[in-house]
């Protein structure tokens, strides 16, 4: 087996190198005040229940009150650890409008009129950040195609008269000198990644390599129609640009580090030289929850199977159909992996495997997913079958659709499976090979493998089958494994590899990166915590996340680097449902500027 298993064990004894579909919460998180987004409270209310905040010995705690008289601590309900006492009690929210935690939004926002981002710019604050982000949306930057955004950033820094360089890995670094009298302050690195996940609706005519992102303001959210927004991590880039532009900020030296290809192979962080950065504090702006400070993240990697196969002639007397699984939510393969959302590829493979023998089904192609680190929303297969089997197969498909819609009714209310007659293909997959491929796909581990023992609610280990493309004699399968424990990451990777080796294929394990080991005694955490409490009158949440952040890789190259990750609230990243909660941008930006002005001397 061909294995490039580049697991970097530079961070040993991971205390909780975070990985979780939402950041891991303390046992009883401090209830958030009305001006802040509290996902647990929103989740409770969006389900039709009542949220109640109570004063307890450990501080304020939120409870979700159910119609049957039972109740549940809100974060426990958010994580699925408790339900109403009456299993038959129905929520006031009908199933077709049920909402998952990351989708709990104000009803007014969901029905708000959409205004183009460009037309709404003058009404958005902070003006500099949103103008920067608009400019970023006009520059194509899918992972692996960084040339245009690199040129944009180089021009931006040079136009400001700041030292601006691009390193051998393609990262752009912009240096802003200290304000007069602040030269002795510690240097700060503000970091974000340039690339975005290019996910779109299957039927949308859109090219991420050439087309700008068309965004809209809808209530308090910035959204798109049919594509990812790219606020992951374009909004982080925009905030760094605003810091570089500021003529009023009084601070020590600041570096803006814009890395390439974080969403695929982390080649920017991998290729960063050990002498490239001058600062000793790194503030990563790739977090997705306002009021949450991340101090740990998961390690991960990439698993791929690439092969060719010999197509065979397709019988000419058969009927041909395209089967499409669609309407799923998808999402981030780290932060959404625990939500139990439908997986389009897995559902389609399950359907096909049950139809091969009884309906004499033949497989011509199978495709699903946009990126290895995104939960597949759509998948399609082209099949052939005897014309006399069409009616019974159609009944089977309808029965299967009803079954999986029942199984996923709460989390996937828009799931549908379509059957469309098409022109018969001239070639197909050999019958023996199609069985091998369907078995391998069916057996590939998917979702949460293990929860953390150290932190309740934290996903320790997971795998995501993100891309399958079997068509025209070529096979491509891509997975993203994650874990906060290096040995568990290797274990789940070998699990996936073993399945495909048994099927007769070589497996490549590559681009592995370490987790980020939390440091609860971090000086930048202490400063940011104190600043947040002074500004907003309450404590932030300090957490770890089941997602890959470049902090682990950068920390390995710069031992002793003091790191933290913050950012405004994003939902459903890595999917066309991605949206940015507009008011949280100013909230985070104000905090960032205040912290930068109070960095201590070195």
pLDDT at res. 93? 32
Whether the Cβ atoms of residue 374 and residue 197 lie closer than 8 Å to each other? yes
Q: How confident is the model at residue 56 (pLDDT cuts 50, 70, 90)?
A: confident
Phi first, then psi: what are they for 480, rounded to 5°? -120, 105
Mean pLDDT of 74-98: 52
pLDDT at res. 456? 75
Residues in the chain, total: 602
Alpha-carbon distance of 203 to 197, in angstroms, equals: 17
Among 405, 232, 406, residue whose Cα is nearest residue 333: 232
Q: How confident is the model at residue 8 (pLDDT cuts 50, 70, 90)?
A: very low
pLDDT at res. 39? 55
Among 88-102, 242-256, 408-422, which is the least confidently predicted range?
88-102
| DSSP label at residue 62 | E
What lies within 8 Å, CB to CB, of 386 at 6+ separation is 317, 318, 319, 360
Among 90-99, 111-120, 483-492, which is the least confidently predicted range?
90-99
Q: Choose the catalytic residue: 195, 336, 478, 550.
A: 195
510: left (phi over 0), alpha (psi -120 to 50) or beta: beta
pLDDT at res. 28? 35
Q: How confident is the model at residue 156 (pLDDT cuts 50, 70, 90)?
A: very high
Average pLDDT score, the chain: 88
Alpha-carbon distance of 21 to 178, in angstroms, equals: 38
Among 395, 447, 439, residue whose Cα is nearest residue 417: 395
Q: How confident is the model at residue 73 (pLDDT cuts 50, 70, 90)?
A: confident
Query: Is the confidence at residue 25, as pLDDT, over 50?
Result: no
Q: Tell the CATH superfamily of the 114-291+566-596 domain.
A: Zn peptidases (3.40.630.10)
Whether the Cβ atoms of residue 386 and residue 318 lie closer than 8 Å to each other? yes
pLDDT at res. 103? 39
pLDDT at res. 202? 84
Number of helices (H), then strands (E), belonging to the chain: the values are 15, 29
Q: How confident is the model at residue 600 (pLDDT cuts 50, 70, 90)?
A: very high
Query: Is the confidence at residue 417, as pLDDT, over 90?
Result: yes
307: left (phi over 0), alpha (psi -120 to 50) or beta: beta
Q: How confident is the model at residue 58 (pLDDT cuts 50, 70, 90)?
A: low
Tokens of 479: 């997975």
pLDDT at res. 79? 54
DSSP 240-294: HHHHHH-SS---S-EEEEEES-TTTT-HHHHH--TTS---SEEEE-----TTEEE
Among 34-38, 384-388, 398-402, which is the least confidently predicted range?
34-38
pLDDT at res. 65? 85
Query: Is the confidence at residue 107, as pLDDT, over 70?
Result: no
Q: How confident is the model at residue 353 (pLDDT cuts 50, 70, 90)?
A: very high
| Active-site residue, 336 included | no
Among 126-140, 376-390, 508-522, which is the least confidently predicted range?
508-522
Domain-wise residue ranges, the chain: 39-104, 114-291+566-596, 302-513
pLDDT at res. 33? 32
Residue environment code for 141-171, b if the CB has 16+ CB neighbours within 10 A, otherwise e: bbbebbeebbebbbebbeeeebebebbebbb
pLDDT at res. 260? 98
Q: Please indicate whether residue 24 or residue 564 has the higher confidence score (pLDDT).
A: 564
Whether the Cβ atoms of residue 397 and residue 351 lie closer than 8 Å to each other? yes
169-222 residue pLDDT tens: 999 999 999 999 999 999 999 999 999 999 999 889 999 999 999 999 999 999
Q: Please indicate whether residue 517 or residue 229 has the higher confidence score (pLDDT).
A: 229
pLDDT at res. 85? 72
Among 53-57, 96-100, 207-211, 454-458, which is the least confidently predicted range?
96-100
E-strand spans in 57-176? 59-65, 71-73, 114-116, 163-166, 172-176
| DSSP label at residue 123 | G
- In degrees, rounded to 5, the angle at the alpha carbon of residue 256 between the alpha carbons of residues 183 and 561 is 70
Tokens of 523: 């000086």
Report the 10 Å Cβ neighbour count for 334: 28
Q: How confident is the model at residue 59 (pLDDT cuts 50, 70, 90)?
A: low
Longest dimension (CA), the chain: 85
| DSSP label at residue 295 | E
Tokens of 26: 């303390």
269-320 residue pLDDT tens: 999 999 999 999 999 999 999 999 999 999 999 999 999 999 999 999 999 9
pLDDT at res. 24? 43
Mean pLDDT of 511-533: 94
| Active-site residue, 572 included | no
Among 74-83, 230-239, 318-327, 582-591, which is the least confidently predicted range?
74-83
pLDDT at res. 11? 32
pLDDT at res. 62? 78
Q: In terms of C-beta distances under 8 Å and separation of at least 24 residues, what long-range contacts does 356-361 make, across chains too?
A: 356/434, 356/435, 356/438, 358/396, 359/385, 359/389, 359/392, 359/393, 359/396, 360/385, 360/386, 360/389, 361/385, 361/393
Mean pLDDT of 511-537: 94
Q: Choose the catalytic residue: 73, 232, 262, 265.
A: 262
Alpha-carbon distance of 599 to 602, in angstroms, equals: 9
Identify the H or E element spanning 483: strand 474-483
For the chain, the distance separating the N- and C-terminal CA atoms, rounded to the nearest angstrom, is 50
Report the CATH number of the 302-513 domain: 3.30.70.360
Among 21-30, 34-43, 56-65, 147-156, which is the least confidently predicted range?
21-30
Among 88-92, 137-141, 241-245, 305-309, which is the least confidently predicted range?
88-92
Query: Is the confidence at residue 408, as pLDDT, over 60?
Result: yes
Query: Which is it for strands 292-297 and 541-545: parallel, antiparallel or unpaired?
Result: parallel
Residue environment code for 241-278, b if the CB has 16+ CB neighbours within 10 A, otherwise e: bbbbbeeebebbbbbbbbbbbbbbbbbbbbbbeeebbe
pLDDT at res. 64? 83
């Amino acid at each position: 087996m061909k294995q490039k298993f580049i697991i970097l064990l530079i961070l040993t004894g991971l205390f909780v190198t975070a990985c979780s579909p939402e950041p891991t919460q303390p046992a009883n998180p401090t209830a958030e005040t009305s001006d802040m987004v509290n996902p647990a409270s929103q989740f409770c209310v969006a389900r039709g229940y009542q949220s109640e905040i109570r004063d307890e010995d450990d501080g304020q705690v939120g409870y979700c009150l159910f119609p049957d008289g039972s109740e549940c601590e809100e974060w426990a309900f958010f994580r699925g650890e408790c339900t109403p006492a009456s299993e038959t009690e129905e929520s006031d929210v009908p199933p077709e409008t049920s909402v998952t935690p990351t989708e709990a939004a104000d009803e007014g926002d969901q029905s708000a009129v959409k205004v183009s981002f460009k037309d709404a710019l003058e009404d958005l604050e902070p003006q500099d950040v949103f103008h920067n982000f608009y400019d970023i949306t006009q520059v194509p930057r899918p992972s692996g195609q960084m040339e245009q955004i690199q040129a944009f950033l180089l021009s931006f820094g040079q136009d400001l008269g700041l030292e601006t360089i691009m390193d051998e890995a393609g990262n752009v670094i912009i240096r802003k000198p200290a304000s007069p009298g602040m030269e002795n302050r510690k240097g700060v690195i503000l970091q974000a990644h340039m690339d975005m996940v290019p996910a779109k609706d299957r039927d949308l005519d859109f090219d991420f390599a050439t087309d700008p992102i068309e965004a809209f303001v809808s209530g308090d959210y910035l959204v798109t129609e049919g594509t990812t927004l790219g606020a992951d991590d374009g909004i982080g880039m925009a905030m760094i640009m605003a810091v570089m532009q500021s003529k009023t900020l009084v601070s020590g030296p600041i570096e803006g580090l814009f890395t390439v290809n974080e969403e695929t192979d982390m080649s920017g962080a991998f290729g960063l030289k050990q002498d490239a950065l001058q600062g000793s504090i790194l503030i990563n702006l790739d977090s997705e929850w306002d009021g949450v400070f991340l101090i740990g993240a998961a390690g991960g990697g990439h698993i791929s199977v690439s092969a060719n196969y010999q197509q065979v002639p397709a019988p000419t007397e058969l009927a041909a159909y395209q089967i499409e699984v669609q309407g799923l939510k998808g999402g981030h393969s780290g932060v959404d992996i625990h939500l139990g959302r439908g997986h389009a590829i897995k559902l389609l493979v399950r359907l096909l495997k049950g139809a091969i023998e009884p309906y004499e089904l033949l497989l011509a192609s199978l495709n699903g997913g946009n990126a290895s680190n995104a939960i597949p929303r759509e998948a399609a297969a082209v099949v052939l079958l005897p014309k006399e089997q069409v009616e019974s197969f159609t009944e089977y498909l309808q029965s299967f659709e009803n079954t999986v819609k029942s199984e996923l009714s709460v989390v996937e209310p828009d799931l549908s499976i379509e059957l469309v007659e098409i022109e018969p293909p001239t070639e197909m997959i050999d019958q023996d090979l199609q069985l091998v491929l369907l078995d391998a796909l069916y057996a590939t581990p998917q979702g949460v493998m293990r929860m953390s023992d150290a932190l309740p609610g934290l996903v320790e280990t997971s795998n995501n089958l993100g891309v399958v493309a079997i068509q025209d004699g070529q096979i491509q399968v891509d997975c993203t494994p994650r874990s906060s424990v290096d040995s568990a990451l290797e274990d789940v990777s070998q699990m996936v590899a073993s399945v495909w080796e048994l099927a007769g294929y070589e497996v490549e394990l590559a681009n592995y990166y370490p987790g980020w080991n939390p440091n609860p005694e971090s000086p930048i955490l202490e400063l940011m915590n104190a600043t947040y409490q002074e500004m907003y009158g309450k404590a932030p949440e300090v957490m770890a996340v089941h997602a890959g952040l470049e902090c682990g890789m950068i920390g390995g190259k710069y031992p002793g680097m003091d790191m933290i990750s913050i950012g405004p609230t994003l939902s459903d990243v890595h999917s066309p449902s991605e949206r940015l909660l507009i008011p949280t941008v100013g909230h985070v930006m104000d905090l960032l500027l205040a912290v930068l002005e109070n960095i201590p001397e070195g």
